[in-house]
Amino acid sequence: MDNTTKGCNKEGTRADETRTDDEVFNDVPDYRRLKVEDVKAMTFKTVEDAERFYSAYSLALGFGFRKDTKGEAEGTIRRRQWLCNKQGTRAKKWFVLDGRGRTPRKITRVNCKAKFRVNYNELVGAYVVKAFVPEHSHELATGNQTAFIRSHRNVGKSDLARANTMSKVSIRPCHAYEYMVEQAGGYRTVGFTEKDLHNKLDQQRRTTSFESDSEGPLAYMNALAAQDPYFYCRFNVDIEDRLANMFWRDGHAFVDFMCYGDVLIFDSTYKTNVYKKPLVLFVGSNNHRGSILFGAALLVDETVETYTWLLRSFLDAMNGKMPIAVLTDGDEAMRSAIEDVMPQAKHRLCAWHLSRNGNTNLKCDEKLKAFNRCMRKFQTVEQFEVMWHDMVEKFDLHNSFWINMMYEKRDKWAQAFFRNHFMAGMRSTQRCEGMNRFIKDSIGRGMKLVEVVPRMDRALMRLRNNQVRDDFNTMNSTPVLETHLKDLENHAASIYTYDVFKWVRKEIRKESQATLRQGPEYFEDGHRVYTMSAYKRPDFEHKVVYYHGKNTESATDPIIYGMFL
């Protein structure tokens, strides 16, 4: 018996998202429509009123501010000015890298000229606006990103009192923060980040016990489907009409898979519920090289039939989109299900699990090192075969059952067989293991299913908030250039997110260690081959193929392709 629920969520705005500070300025219909002359016509009874106005204005537009100079006379503030938090530039001394062990902090100031200044006017007995520059020289934060602007983050007295009370009963700071997010209605409206609260609290969060069975999570799924039209949930029951398997994903996960679903990792974990049902997580990597969740499932067992049902449900939830590659551990039931349901996907086995199995079966450090070289080294298939047979001959492994078994499925674990397959830089299920730990921080082995599903939903919200933070940080900062190829490094910084840029920068640094050994060799089709080696490592040799084509849009612009062989 199989049941499916589908739907998709519409984003809405809460009527109470406007901060209480804005109530002082009920006569202002829309901060985004304010003109310079409108602001300069305003008066304020106190400096605090002026600051509250600029705080509300900056929050509505998506930028942070900070206090600048002020003038006082006879105990009265006569002049006060506020600036955009991106005003000014970093001092040159902080760019000197000689002798520094740490990488410089990312640049956040871009010499923005936006400002707001009020002066006290004795004739009217109030503060009048003397200067207002609304133009910014940088992008403004949008949507949920405004929650990360420092000047708009503040742990209020009531929140501090509540957090202190929770700390006395051993509630962990991260969970205390999640509770406050729930009370506030979201990360955007809570008013501060988890890090702000972590500075004050460091104890464990209490849990609330619920008494329910499978009807609880199914009712919760129905509630999610009512809010999210693209929500998907499929489950089946056993012969006694009890919940057997259940898979679900929301609309956000569907969009993530459409964008980042080329490489899929999935694995199961235990000790997440009182029924000991295996929890399976479908994980991938986003544009920040961060882990994202495409879906989750609770299974009755780990047989081929169950995994086949799960993968078919997953593909149905993703409108039939097939991943390019799938990464799992060595579970045979998973392998059989993948071959049946996803035959077009390149299946790769986890390198970490294979190394651990190799340590168990080979029981010799030298043998294990030789096996790991065969598994991890970037080489051709021919070079792999030579290296593999040399290892077998050297250690006399002709009759080793495990070695012969691994050779039979070498196309699923040796790096040589994945040279032309996109794997997003992954060759282990480490992301899935990390996601399992992340989820287990919120759920425990003694929980009912009615607790597990909502807590996973909360953990997923936290994970996505981290992605919004990464988007915000990438948009509002520029990496400091460090390599000798600054033009190339600067171009990489302009098109990649910061986490991907760091990955690219490592490759740029490796260029300085490359030495030309021989070449070029010219061929009839126009390409050239260069023989390269690493500095002081002449045995570590690569052949680089250089193609020089013509751009279809401009006959004078070359297209250059490089490939390591």
Using H for helix, E for strand and C for coil, what is the string for 68-123? EEEEEECCEEEEEEEEECCCCCCCHHHHCCCCCCCCCCCECCCCCCCEEEEEEECC
Instruction: Kindly report the average pLDDT of the chain as a whole number.
Output: 82
Q: What is the pLDDT of residue 269?
A: 78
3-state secondary structure of 465: helix
Place of tokens 């970037």: 378
Nearest to 346 by CA among 286, 292, 254, 417: 417
pLDDT higher than 90, residue 258: yes
In this structure, the number of other CB atoms found within 10 A of the CB of residue 359 comes to: 15
CA distances from residue 46 to 25, 53, 54, 146, 190 in whole angstroms, order as listed: 14, 11, 13, 26, 27
Q: Identify the bridge partners of residue 126 per DSSP, sorted by sequence position.
A: 121
Q: Identify the bridge partners of residue 425 per DSSP, sorted by sequence position.
A: none
Q: Is the dihedral of CA 170, 172, 178, 184 positive or negative?
A: positive
State phi, psi for 46 to the nearest 5 degrees: -135, 165
pLDDT higher than 50, residue 83: yes
CA distance 256 to 292: 8
Q: Is the dihedral of CA 152, 157, 162, 164 positive or negative?
A: positive
Tokens, residue 544: 């680089």
Band (275; pLDDT cuts 50, 70, 90): low
Q: What is the pLDDT of residue 186?
A: 85
- Displacement of CA 343 from its chain's centroid (Å): 29
Q: What is the pLDDT of residue 171?
A: 62
Q: What is the pLDDT of residue 449?
A: 76
Q: Which residues of 310-338 are buried (b: 16+ CB within 10 A; e: fewer)?
A: bbbbbeebbeeeebebbbbbbbebbbebb
Q: Which residues of 491-504 are buried (b: 16+ CB within 10 A; e: fewer)?
A: ebbeebbbebbeeb
Share of the chain above pLDDT 70, in %: 84
Mean pLDDT of 32-39: 88
pLDDT higher than 80, residue 157: no
Q: What is the pLDDT of residue 167?
A: 62
Query: If phi over 0 gives left and psi between -120 and 50 gives alpha, with beta otherwise, what is residue 309?
Result: alpha
Predicted confidence (pLDDT) per residue in 327-351, tens digit = 998 888 999 999 999 999 999 999 9
pLDDT higher than 80, residue 323: yes
Share of the chain above pLDDT 90, in %: 38
CA distance 431 to 266: 9
Band (100; pLDDT cuts 50, 70, 90): low
Predicted confidence (pLDDT) per residue in 179-202, tens digit = 888 888 888 888 788 888 776 544
CA distance 7 to 413: 39
Q: Which range among 5-14, 174-183, 317-326, 438-447 has the greatest average pLDDT?
A: 317-326
Mean pLDDT of 9-13: 36
Amino acid sitting at position 16: D
Predicted confidence (pLDDT) per residue in 374-408, tens digit = 999 888 899 999 999 999 999 999 999 999 999 99
Tokens, residue 469: 């933070």
Q: What is the pLDDT of residue 12?
A: 36
Predicted confidence (pLDDT) per residue in 403-450, tens digit = 999 999 999 999 999 988 888 888 888 888 888 777 776 665 656 777
3-state secondary structure of 485: coil
Mean pLDDT of 65-71: 89
Q: Is 445 exposed, middle or buried (0-12, 13-18, 19+ CB in 10 A)?
A: exposed
Band (23; pLDDT cuts 50, 70, 90): very low
Domains of the chain: 34-143 (no CATH), 157-198 (no CATH), 209-349+428-478 (3.30.420.10), 351-423 (no CATH), 486-564 (no CATH)
Q: What is the pLDDT of residue 26?
A: 46
Tokens, residue 346: 């390149």
Q: What is the pLDDT of residue 285?
A: 92
Band (29; pLDDT cuts 50, 70, 90): low
Tokens, residue 146: 């405004």
Predicted confidence (pLDDT) per residue in 484-533, tens digit = 889 999 999 999 999 999 989 998 888 888 888 777 887 777 788 888 88
CA distance 477 to 281: 33
Mean pLDDT of 36-56: 91
Beta strands 325-328 and 263-269, pairing class: parallel
